[in-house]
């Protein structure tokens, strides 16, 4: 068996497919239950019951929604650019999936443990804007177009501070490999020494995934539903899935960069009995809960406030913090030397 999987081409391809399925199937189930979790948590915060009809505690609600969405008719607007109109949701969805290739769920447990893992994540998340921009343009509708433009400007702005936050973490790690980033947090999670960066990253993650209070791209009061206003049926469903998968992805990035990934909070006995992947899942769930909590709590930002926060508060602050981190590590001699640079 091992001979087949590791030493023949067909076997390696099969292994790759199995590994991919092992990541994607739990992810999609996670997305389905995230929608339910969001409705349940928000209902609890607003003293309602939330979905409770389909299955026990409404557990089958997500699947009922999915079936409803699939059997609806796909409507393509007459003036739309047909090819691009259909391409946009597939792009959004597949980008949200491929990013998971590098997420380590345990020591060395990733589909692809590559040297530049964090750059890969940054690259994939910066591509996410195209799905939205193309959807907005191809719909040939002014609401969709405005939503797309807003979203593009918003995501590009917040990517800058996300990049700088990541750089300050990388300075302390000395490697771009996600596995190394987690292992560097054996003694202390980065959320403690870099607490302000943790907060900046989390808020930027909210903006990057177009979540409340930064959900201006779909500001329903002025843009109907934003960039996906013309979408229906499965195409809409793909956007929806992509958006929630992105939320989980961003939560896992927060967990890996700041909350010690698969590591337990303390390296002592009862905590180390729980396997690493479960710790990662707990941390992701915690981040998702905060995502939902924020949505249930804060009103939407105005667009100029959003831009001001990104460019005039987060960017200078994270730049300053990055320089401060570099200076501190240099002075104390803690700067990690990777790959033996002379």
Partner 1 sequence: MMAQFVFYIFATVLLFSAAMVITARNPVHAVLFLILAFFNASGLFLLAGAEFLAMLLVIVYVGAVAVLFLFVVMMLDVDFGQLREGFQKYAPLGGCVGGVLFAELVLAFSHWQMAPGRAAPLAAPGLTNTAALGGIIYTHYVLLFQACGLVLLVAMIGAITLTLRERVTGRRQNVTCQHARTRADTLEMLELNLGESVAERGGFLRPKGSYNEIAVPGSFGLVPENPKDDVASNKEKGA
Residues in contact with partner 1 by CB under 8 A are: 9, 84, 114-116, 119-120, 122-123, 126-127, 129-130, 133-134, 137, 145, 149, 152-153, 156, 159, 163, 176, 304, 308, 338-342
Integer CA distances (angstroms), 148 to 68, 88, 130, 200, 239, in order: 26, 11, 9, 24, 13
Give the max Cα distance, the chain.
65
Closest CA to 94 of 131, 66, 120: 131
The two tokens of residue 91 are 């792009």
Q: Considering the complex, what minimum distance in angstroms separates the CB of residue 18 from partner 1?
A: 19
Based on CB atoms, which residue is closest to partner 1, 15 or 42?
Answer: 15
Which residue is listed with tokens 């180390």? 272
Based on CB atoms, which residue is closest to partner 1, 51 or 136?
Answer: 136
Based on CB atoms, which residue is closest to partner 1, 212 or 309?
Answer: 309
Q: Considering the complex, what minimum distance in angstroms separates the CB of residue 259 from partner 1?
A: 24
By the 10 Å C-beta count (0-12 exposed, 13-18 middle, 19+ buried), 105 is classed as: buried
Q: How far apart are CA 158 and CA 308, in angstroms?
A: 11
Q: Considering the complex, what minimum distance in angstroms separates the CB of residue 103 from partner 1?
A: 16
Based on CB atoms, which residue is closest to partner 1, 253 or 280?
Answer: 253
Q: How far apart are CA 199 and CA 249, in angstroms?
A: 17
Q: How far apart are CA 92 and CA 90, in angstroms?
A: 6
Based on CB atoms, which residue is closest to partner 1, 133 or 263?
Answer: 133
Based on CB atoms, which residue is closest to partner 1, 165 or 287?
Answer: 165
Q: Considering the complex, what minimum distance in angstroms separates the CB of residue 148 from partner 1?
A: 8
Q: Considering the complex, what minimum distance in angstroms separates the CB of residue 324 from partner 1?
A: 18
Please, which residues have CB within 8 angstroms of residue 61's CB and are 6 or more apart in sequence? 36, 39, 51, 53, 54, 55
Based on CB atoms, which residue is closest to partner 1, 137 or 258?
Answer: 137
Q: How far apart are CA 28 and CA 320, in angstroms?
A: 39
Do 321 and 196 meet the contact criterion of CB atoms below 8 Å apart?
A: yes
The two tokens of residue 229 are 């206003």
Q: Considering the complex, what minimum distance in angstroms separates the CB of residue 294 from partner 1?
A: 20
Q: Considering the complex, what minimum distance in angstroms separates the CB of residue 138 from partner 1?
A: 9
Helix, strand, or coil here: 307? Answer: helix
Q: Considering the complex, what minimum distance in angstroms separates the CB of residue 261 from partner 1?
A: 20
Q: Considering the complex, what minimum distance in angstroms separates the CB of residue 14 from partner 1?
A: 15
Which residue is listed with tokens 């771009």? 176
Do 181 and 258 meet the contact criterion of CB atoms below 8 Å apart?
A: no
Closest CA to 253 of 129, 169, 157: 169
Based on CB atoms, which residue is closest to partner 1, 91 or 280?
Answer: 91
Q: How far apart are CA 17 and CA 10, in angstroms?
A: 11
Based on CB atoms, which residue is closest to partner 1, 116 or 296?
Answer: 116
């Amino acid at each position: 068996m091992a001979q087949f999987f590791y030493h023949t081409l067909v076997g390696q391809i099969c292994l790759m497919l199995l590994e991919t399925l092992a990541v994607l199937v739990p992810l999609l189930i996670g997305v389905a239950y995230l929608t339910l979790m969001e409705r349940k948590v928000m209902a609890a915060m607003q003293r309602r019951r939330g979905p409770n009809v389909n299955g026990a505690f409404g557990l089958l609600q997500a699947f009922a929604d999915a079936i409803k969405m699939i059997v609806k008719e796909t409507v393509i607007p007459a003036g739309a650019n047909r090819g691009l109109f259909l391409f946009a949701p597939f792009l959004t969805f597949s980008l949200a999936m491929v990013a998971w290739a590098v997420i380590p769920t345990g020591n060395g447990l990733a589909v692809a443990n590559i040297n530049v893992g964090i750059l890969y994540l940054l690259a994939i998340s910066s591509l996410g804007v195209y799905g939205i921009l193309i959807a907005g343009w191809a719909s040939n509708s002014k609401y969709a177009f405005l939503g797309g433009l807003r979203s593009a400007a918003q995501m590009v702005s917040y990517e800058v501070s996300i990049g700088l936050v990541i750089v300050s973490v990388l300075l302390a790690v000395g490697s771009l490999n996600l596995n190394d980033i987690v292992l560097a947090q054996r003694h202390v999670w980065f959320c403690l020494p870099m607490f302000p960066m943790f907060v900046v990253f989390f808020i930027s993650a909210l903006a990057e995934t177009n979540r409340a209070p930064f959900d201006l791209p779909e500001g329903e009061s002025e843009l109907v539903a934003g960039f996906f206003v013309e979408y229906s049926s499965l195409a809409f469903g793909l956007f929806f899935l992509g958006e929630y998968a992105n939320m989980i992805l961003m939560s896992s990035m927060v967990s890996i960069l700041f909350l010690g990934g698969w590591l337990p909070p303390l390296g002592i006995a009862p905590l180390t009995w729980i396997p690493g992947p479960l710790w990662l899942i707990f941390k992701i769930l915690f981040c998702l809960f905060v995502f939902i909590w924020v949505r249930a709590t804060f009103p939407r930002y105005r667009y100029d406030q959003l831009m001001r926060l990104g460019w005039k508060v987060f960017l200078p602050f994270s730049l300053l913090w990055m320089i401060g981190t570099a200076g501190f590590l240099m002075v104390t001699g803690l700067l990690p030397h990777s790959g033996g640079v002379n």
